[in-house]
Structure 1
Amino acid sequence: MKVTTTKILSFSSIILLVTLLFSNIMHHIYDHDSANDLFCISETCDNYSENVLKLMNKSVDPCDNFFQYACGTMIRNVSDTGYIRDMVIKVRKEVGYVLEKGWDQDKNKANRKFVKSKSLAAEWAIRIYQQCSHIGDISNPIDILKPINKLWNSLPIATKLSWPLESNKNSINLNWLDFYAHYSNAFGYEPIFRVGYNLMNNLYIQIDFCFIEAEKFDCQVLLKFMMLNKTNEKSKEYEKICNEVIDFIDKVANFEQKIGSDKNLYDLKTIESYTGLNWESFFQITLNYGKSFRKEKNPSIIYDNKLIIVDDALLDTLKVIENTPKHIVFNYFWLKTIIYFISNIMSIPVFGFCPDSFLSDQFPLSFAIARLYVDYSLKPGSKLKAIHMVNQLKQSAIESIEKNTLFDDETREKAIEKLRSIIDFVGFPEKFMTDEQLDEFYGLQSSIDPMIGDNYYESYAKLLRHYKHIMFGKMGNDSISLRGINTFSPLIFNAHYNTLANSIEIKPILLRLPLFDAELPFYVNYAKLGYIIGHEIFHCVDKTGIKYDKSGAFREWTTDKFEKKYDDKTQCFIEQYRNYTEHSYGLSQDNSTVGEDVADNGGLRVAYMAYQHEMKRIQNLGKQPQLFPKLVDKKMTVEQIFFLATAQFHCRFVTRTELNDWFTHDIHSPPESRVNVCLQNFDKFAESFNCSIGSPMNPEKRCRLF
């Protein structure tokens, strides 16, 4: 008995110790902004409050036009393009800086002042970037052809022919699709379509159009380059060849314009039948499986199962290419190769080819690059705070649904169940914060020296071949877990609700100013990032979301009564936003933005609810939220700062032309109506600024769905 008691006491002591430790950690993470100090006097808070005041136009009555009041100085400045673009530019520069400084040239190893990770994948990204940043060192045009010729001559037919090809009289035994596979393997470049991977519940192969340059300028510049020291007779031949390629580009570009946002799932067998092309041979070359391709498990999976995502317009394009004379198609590849090399070299010092390429959602080492960025740029505690916010916002959304008379009992129960089941992917995947798991994902076990070529193009081609092969091996492999990974593009500026997975993704670059900062008082973070998260949460139960259940399966779970009330209330938003006139230009919008407008309104309310809950929580602990001294001096309350923070995220200068395009192409409302109409519908805003009933920002009629 005595021993048993001791064991029980020891176990209880451990539990108590862990509980106390966990409580202290949570207290440190979530309550440092509600410490005994009443004012936030850090540099971050000081800069933030200065920026708030800098943007405001105090000559405008906030009850007349809050957007003009909150953003007046920015929207008068043509050079201001808005926070989002500024943030993207800043992230791009920081990623480029870390990749550039991350290699110690003298010691020929990673520079630990900038690189924390010892992952092979991170080193691989840095070393390829070093090569990329020196592409522009080539000054002699003739030298451009050296790496081109080396790679071109490695192709199956290149050395047997005289380039460019003059006509079909040249003997071309290889079909164009097999040549394209060899070509992309050699150059790491895919000028017509790109083979990549997509992760949505399962791992899929995705075949996308690459942007086809239909401009004649490229070919004309190249023509002049090719005709250096040539006879007039030869120049005419080259001009004819170039014009044939331009016509070919125009045909392909016409199909590209037909591509829509919806893509379809196919199996390999169906694609072969539809296009009349040997895709098995293509994948055998592309994925480096050799003759054993059909004997492997994964080829059988894609041959018989719908695991390939592709647009029908692309499949139609491939049939056109098949019917084009071979010499024209092959000349296109040859010309595009030279253009690709020249354009990259010319863009290095001016446009920044390297940072743009490495930040692309298609770059194979995107997780390694994101890891370098997160280690270098994000403040400690950012992810934990954001996760806490997501949980608070989901709980507030559930409370909102519980009190909402729009829902009948049956629909309310299903909606709450779906909200509780939302999977959230916040920041950078936790598993990749471990070097071993990051390297395991990329199939790296030893030195990457063999993967580094003589120049950037060789190294990137090796990387692309390795990546395609490794990722293909993960398809249908139950022993490989992709849990915790929602997409392959962690550094794209986006928050997203995935209907098919019932999940929310908050990218790591959102966990920084101007949207979020771990050092700022909580009410500012809820006003900005919280509003965005709330917006995504309500897509779970919007017009599209209600057609899918908690697991992401297509299954309607609402009643006819609910849908009738839903449509009636949505109509209120349609009329309200349609009748709003953009203050600067007198332009009215249509109803194409209603889905996002409803999410905006719901997101604001749930962000406000969550901030209020957080306020009560810290007040129950006998504390108060930290204040900004410079904003207190201006007699601003916490609630007013909350609404200013929400509005100022949307500050940007918009021209009349941009506004016309906005109504045509964007599913969100323009900045002014997005701010003002949303706040007009929220009584708490009018209360905080003492707006009289009937004033523009406190109308007698409001729209509310959630």
Structure 2
Amino acid sequence: MLDYDAQGFYKSYMNETRITEVGCVTLFKELEELVTTVFPVQGSSLISHFPNIAPLVDLLNITDRERLTSAITHLYWASTLSILNFYSFPDERNPEIQILWISRGDSVIPDPVLLERTPLLAEYRKAIEKIYTFVFGKSEGATKFANDMIAFETKIVNFADGADASPYITAADLNELYPSLDWPLLLQKILHGTNITLDRELKNDFPPYTYFAWETIIARSRALPTQYRRRINRTMSILDGDVNPDAVPDRWSICVDSTSTHFASIVGHFCISQMFPSATKNQVQSMVGTIREAYRTDFQALGWLDNSTHANAITKLDAMIELIGYFTADPNVGSAEAHEKYYAAVHIKDSEYYSNLVQAKAQILKKMLYRSAPYFTANTPECLNFGALGMITGHEIAHGFDNFDRNYGPRGELHDYSNFTVMGPEGETLYVNGEQTVGENISNNGGIKMAFMAWAKRFASDRDSRPYNYKLLPGRGVSHLMREQLFFLSFGQSWCRLGTPTYFANQVRDGVHAPNHARVLGTMQNAREFARAFKCKTDSPMDPVSKCEIW
């Protein structure tokens, strides 16, 4: 049955007794294969943990380059490779052609600044040592292993990409730039079974580093008993800036999250049958169409667009494709038959979570995002849906005309807020990088304006709430609010988040989005409709005289 894979996976994750019984036996076998068969290194301290199995002599005699290439390929197909990312994407110079992209993956330590935080590194080191001791059954070598991992990750974090290197290179070019790997052979093995060939250039952005054993352990850590996962999970939570890194979620919620991640399309199949009827899809399509027309009207009113630019903008607007609801390919989320075929090679056992995890990670899965509260609810007033999902729709359309994507044509081909602050983890003041977030800021301003225009036009044509829902909200504390005010409150609510100083520091350092408070307040300060709705005084903080308006 279609639901068995997802249910079996969930049951195996909930079976803590069985997970504790298995311990690290299966992980140990996987590591054994890695260090004795896939990537044996003479004199390696890890090989000493497997005295009963001698490394393959043939592999010991081949070059480091060949061994490294073989190991990278193995980890890729085992879904434990995190140091490099491989994916295909349309070539921005000719979107009709798919091009292979290679990029550097993420390290556990995301930024050099964190290397200066001694308590955090000490926590991470202890987590590595504890898991090492559990997996290999002894503490001897744990400290050296942890120190080696942190030293290696430090190199990754401090690695600077070559600014002069061309982003488009061939496999032969990679051999010259990074001779540690046999790139043509590696890519041939990774692309085996796909319709991608090596007759074209690659998109490049990485250094060839790896630390195979730790990558494997981290990738399989969910299958370890709770007491061994807890320390590494806490460290990851601190690095991510979670509000309460010591909080332990209910087991069922973690299992639901894991099942939804690894069997997203199956969970989505049953979800859409309950939550996404055709009437809802039609309602969302109507909203998107109304917002698209708001852009068309706005373009005609913009005096700074010359005739040629205006015509190109309309062409690009019309070329945008609406993807609403769920994926219909690889697999079709709405089709039970498509899922049966897609998951035919996956054999789930409700008592073997480790095996289930390995199989599930080998599948390419996608998620259905954004089409749920607080962004959209079918039976709520239109002003709330337009303020949340409508703004996001307008925001994404605006990206087609922002500081970056304005350079791309209708087929995707390429043509030639610093006043806000957050508090960092050490109490320091960090400023939002306006240049870094400008594209998102432009889209926020345009998105909220177009969503409001679209909603206001529909409301003006339907004040009796016949085809659409324009009722006010009942209840104490909200019944006095006008529809225009509810629109903006819905927008603000959709970006409410809790975050620690570390979380916000990470966002300011790496993110192209402004922190949520700046995203909401900055957008509202530039929205004349907001000032009118809440009767803000001119030249007050929320209604400054100087506003940023493009669309």
Would you say same fold, with TM above 0.5? yes
Candidates 409, 412, 436, aligned match of 1:552: 412
What are structure 2's unaligned runs of at least 5 residues? Answer: 110-123, 231-247
Q: Indicate conservation of the 8 Å contact 1:422/1:550, yes or no.
A: yes
Match of 2:73 among 181, 186, 206: 181
Match in the other structure for 1:416: 314
Q: TM-score, normalised by structure 1?
A: 0.58
Structure 1 residue identity aligned to 2:336 = D
State how far apart, in whole Å, the 2-side matches of 1:601 and 1:390 are: 17
| Structure 1 partner of 2:366 | 489
In the alignment, the residues of structure 1 paired with residue 499 and residue 25 of structure 2 have an alpha-carbon distance, to the nearest angstrom, of 46
Residues 540-585 of structure 1 show CA distances to partners (whole Å, capped at 9, x for unaligned) of 11221221111111125xxxxxxxxxxxxxxxxxxxx5456889x9
Cα distance change on mapping 1:144 and 1:548 into 2, 3 Å: same
Note if 1:164 corresponds to 2:55.
no
The CA deviation at 1:376 is 4.7
Q: Are the counterparts in 1 of residues 129 and 145 from structure 2 also a CA contact under 8 Å?
A: no
CA distance in 2, matches of 1:278, 1:537: 42
Contact 2:99 2:203 in 1 (8 A): yes
Q: Deviations over 1:399-422 (max 9, x none)?
A: 111101121222112112211211
Deviation for aligned residue 1:392: 0.8
> Which residues in structure 2 correspond to 1:628-639 (within 5 Å)?
628-630=473-475, 634-639=479-484
- TM-score between both structures, scaled by the size of structure 2: 0.72
Counterpart residue type for residue 402 of structure 1? Q
Query: In 1, are the aligned partners of 2:465 and 2:471 still within 8 Å (CA)?
Result: no
Q: Which among 78, 81, 84 is matched to residue 190 of structure 1?
A: 81
Select the structure of larger CA radius of gyration. Answer: 1
Per-residue deviation, 1:395: 0.6
Q: Which has the higher mean CA deviation after the structures are superposed, 380-389 or 618-627?
A: 618-627
Identity of aligned residues (%): 21
* Counterpart amino acid of residue 401 in structure 2: V
Does residue 127 of the first structure (1) align with residue 19 of the second (2)? no
Deviations 1:615-668 (A, max 9, x none): 133248978822222279743222222222223333445666766655444333
Note if 1:591 corresponds to 2:434.
yes
Q: CA separation in 2, counterparts of 1:339 and 1:586?
A: 33
2:113 corresponding residue in structure 1: none
Indicate the residue corresponding to 1:436 in structure 2.
337
CA offset at residue 459 of structure 1?
3.9
Q: Would you say 1:251 and 2:96 are equivalent positions?
A: no
Q: Which whole-Å CA distance do the structure 2 matches of 1:582 and 1:183 have between them?
A: 39
The number of residue pairs the alignment matches comes to: 485
Partner of 1:88: none
Cα distance in 1 between the residues matched to 2:346 and 2:408: 48
Partner residue, 1:457: 354
Which residue does 1:404 correspond to in 2? 302
Gaps of 5+ in 1: 1-109, 111-117, 290-296, 322-328, 469-487, 491-507, 557-576
Structure 1 residues 271 and 366: alpha-carbon distance in aligned structure 2, compared to 1, 3 A threshold: farther
Q: Which residue of 2 aligns with 1:535?
A: 395
Hey, what's the Cα distance between the residues in 2 that align with 1:183 and 1:587? Answer: 38
**Which residue in the other structure is 1:220 paired with?**
129
Residue 646 in structure 1 maps to residue 491 in structure 2: yes
Change (3 A) 1:610 1:153: same
Partner of 2:445: 601
**Kindly tell me: are residues 649 and 147 of structure 1, through their superposed partners in 2, closer, same or farther at Cα, counting changes over 3 Å?**
closer
Q: Distance in 1 between matches of 2:400 and 2:384?
A: 25
After TM superposition, give the deviation of residue 520 of structure 1 in Å: 0.6
- How has the CA–CA distance of structure 1 residues 178 and 405 changed in structure 2, closer, same or farther, with 3 Å as cutoff? same
Q: Distance in 2 between matches of 1:526 and 1:223?
A: 51
1:304 is the counterpart of 2:147: no
Determine whether 1:688 maps to 2:542: no
Given that residues 288 and 393 in structure 2 are in contact (C-alpha distance below 8 angstroms), is that contact kept between their aligned partners in structure 1? yes
Q: Show the counterpart of 1:702.
A: 547
Q: Which structure dedicates a bigger proportion of its chain to helix? A: 1
Alpha-carbon contact 1:600-1:678 (below 8 Å) kept = yes
Change in CA separation of 1:398 and 1:694 when aligned onto 2, cut-off 3 Å: same
Work out the CA distance in 2 between the residues paired with 1:631 and 1:261: 60
Matched letter for residue 489 of structure 1: K
Comparing 544-553 with 390-399, greater Cα deviation is found at: 544-553
Say if 1:693 and 1:699, in contact at 8 Å, map to a contact too.
yes
Q: Residues 287 and 701 (structure 1 numbering): CA distance in 2 closer, same or farther, change over 3 Å? A: closer
Aligned partners of 1:124 and 1:448 also within 8 Å:
no
Is the alpha carbon distance of 1:211 and 1:144 closer, same or farther for their aligned partners in structure 2, counting shifts above 3 Å?
Answer: farther
Q: 1:356 to 1:208 in 2, by over 3 A?
A: farther
1:424, 1:259 → 2: CA distance?
Answer: 38
Tell me: CA distance 1:630–1:260, structure 2 relative to 1, closer, same or farther (3 Å).
farther
Distance 1:359 1:288 in 2: 28
- Counterpart of 1:394 in structure 2 is 292
Number of the residue aligned with 1:345: 224
1:667 is aligned to 2:527: no
Given that residues 419 and 432 in structure 2 are in contact (C-alpha distance below 8 angstroms), is that contact kept between their aligned partners in structure 1?
Answer: yes
Whether the aligned pair in 2 keeps the contact of 1:193 and 1:208 (CA below 8 Å) is yes
Q: Distance in 1 between matches of 2:481 and 2:176?
A: 68
CA distance in 2, matches of 1:219, 1:514: 39
1:308-351 deviations in Å (ceiling 9; x for gaps) = 555232x3x3xxx6xxxxxxx7xx52x66567656632347946
- The secondary structure found in structure 2 opposite 1:427 is coil
Q: CA deviation at 1:519?
A: 0.7
Matched, 1:520 2:380: yes
RMSD (CA atoms)? 4.4
Note the C-alpha offset of 1:602: 1.4
Q: Give the Cα separation in 1 of the matches to 2:99 and 2:471.
A: 48
Distance 1:373 1:395, change over 3 A: same
Say yes or no: does 1:137 pair with 2:18. Answer: yes
Per the TM alignment, residue 253 of structure 1 is displaced from its structure 2 partner at its CA by 4.5
Residue 613 of structure 1: how far off its partner (Å):
1.6
Q: Is the 8 A contact 2:20 2:224 kept in 1?
A: no
Report the equivalent of 1:573: none
**Closer/same/farther in 2, CA of residues 154 and 258 from structure 1, 3 Å limit:** closer
Distance 1:242 1:283, change over 3 A: farther
After superposition, the C-alpha distances for 1:135-177 in whole angstroms (9 at most, x for unaligned) are 663435xx4343235545667944999983259x975246233
Matches within 5 A, 1:225-304: 225=134, 238-239=140-141, 243=144, 246-247=147-148, 250-258=151-159, 264=167, 266-276=169-179, 277-279=181-183, 281-282=185-186, 298=195, 301-304=196-199
Task: Give me the whole-angstrom Cα distance separating, in 2, the residues matched to 1:284 and 1:458.
Answer: 27
For residue 107 of structure 1, what is the aligned residue in structure 2?
A: none
Contact 1:188 1:457 in 2 (8 A): no
State the 1:257 CA deviation.
5.0
Residue type of the alignment partner of 1:386: V
Instruction: Give the secondary structure class of the aligned counterpart of 2:535.
Output: coil
Q: Secondary structure at the match of 2:322?
A: strand
After superposition, residues 57-206 of structure 1 pair within 5 angstroms as 118=2, 123-134=4-15, 137-139=18-20, 143-151=22-30, 157-158=36-37, 164-165=46-47, 171=57, 172-173=60-61, 175-182=67-74, 185=77, 188-190=79-81, 192-193=83-84
C-alpha distance 371-272 of structure 1, shift in aligned 2 (>3 A): farther
CA-to-aligned-CA distance 1:593-626 (integer Å, 9 cap, x gap): 3332222221121111100121133248978822
